[in-house]
Amino acid sequence: MGKGILKYYEQSNGTNNNTILDLCCGTGTLLLNFAENSYQGMGIDISADMLAVAKENLDEYRDKVKLVERDVTEFEVTSKYDLFTSTADALNHLPDLNALESCFKCVKDAITNEGLFIFDINTPGGITRGEGMALFENESVFVLRNESFEQLNNKGISIVYGMLVSDLN
Ligand SMILES: C[S@@+](CC[C@H](N)C(=O)[O-])C[C@H]1O[C@@H](n2cnc3c(N)ncnc32)[C@H](O)[C@@H]1O
């Protein structure tokens, strides 16, 4: 996904605006794509465990990418960023619309005038259409995902079971 966003961004903005802030950056895979292409950036995530993996993944670029443990609903930056991203339904992890609004306000204060915010988000319609089981498997992982939507609480529920194939050998 990171490579697609990088390509889209460079086609629409050129390569001069090269600072990125990835919200809910997880293990830093998107930031890695950008760091490999001379971007400077920051990743924000609330989970110390995810950031520990991101730190390993981005070790080669530690001078270019800062990783910060913080809630994306209440962050501030000292200088503005050209590109904001948030992928893999990360913003769906926020508890409610107020939290999403707070996050968007933080982005508004931290983005350059011509900046771009690229994110994906699941909607109730999308979750309802995607309800059911999905299996993903390759040589190293086996993942089973069960999606459902609770009409009463207006909440999507995603249960993910995963196994590293190396554990099975
Ligand atoms: C599905 S993962 C997405 C990771 C990454 N964006 C990717 O594309 O692989 C969701 C991430 O959101 C983070 N997260 C959830 N709520 C958060 C919050 N309020 N502030 C910052 N990070 C949060 C989690 O710790 C997790 O790393």
Q: What is the pLDDT of residues 71-122, one digit of tens each?
A: 999 999 999 999 999 999 999 999 999 999 999 999 999 999 999 999 999 8
Query: Does ligand 1 come within 6 angstroms of the Cβ of 36?
Result: no
Tell me the two tokens of residue 42: 């920051």
Q: How many domains does the chain have?
A: 2
The answer to whether 17 and 114 have CB atoms below 8 angstroms apart is yes
Protein residue whose Cα sits closest to atom 17 of ligand 1? 46
Residue given tokens 């207006």 in the structure block: 154
Which residue type, as a one-letter code, is found at position 133?
A: M
Q: Tell me: do 95 and 129 sit in the same domain.
A: no
Q: Tell me: do 76 and 144 sit in the same domain.
A: no
SS3 content of the chain, % helix, strand, coil (to 5): 35, 35, 30
pTM over 0.85: yes
Helix H segments across 19-161?
29-35, 48-57, 97-110, 124-129
Atom in ligand 1 nearest the alpha carbon of residue 71: 20
Q: Tell me: do 113 and 139 sit in the same domain.
A: no
Atom in ligand 1 nearest the alpha carbon of residue 44: 21
Instruction: Determine the distance separating the centroid of ligand 1 and the alpha carbon of 118, expressed in angstroms.
Output: 15
pLDDT tens sequence across 40-55: 999 999 999 999 999 9
Q: Tell me: do 101 and 130 sit in the same domain.
A: no
Atom in ligand 1 nearest the alpha carbon of residue 89: 1
The answer to whether 78 and 16 have CB atoms below 8 angstroms apart is no
Q: Tell me: do 92 and 139 sit in the same domain.
A: no
Instruction: Determine the distance separating the centroid of ligand 1 and the alpha carbon of 169, expressed in angstroms.
Output: 31
Residue 150 burial by CB count (10 A; 0-12/13-18/19+): exposed, middle or buried?
exposed
Instruction: Determine the distance separating the centroid of ligand 1 and the alpha carbon of 61, expressed in angstroms.
Output: 21
Q: Tell me: do 130 and 54 sit in the same domain.
A: no
pLDDT tens sequence across 30-41: 999 999 999 999
Q: Tell me: do 110 and 155 sit in the same domain.
A: no
Show the domain range for 160: 124-168
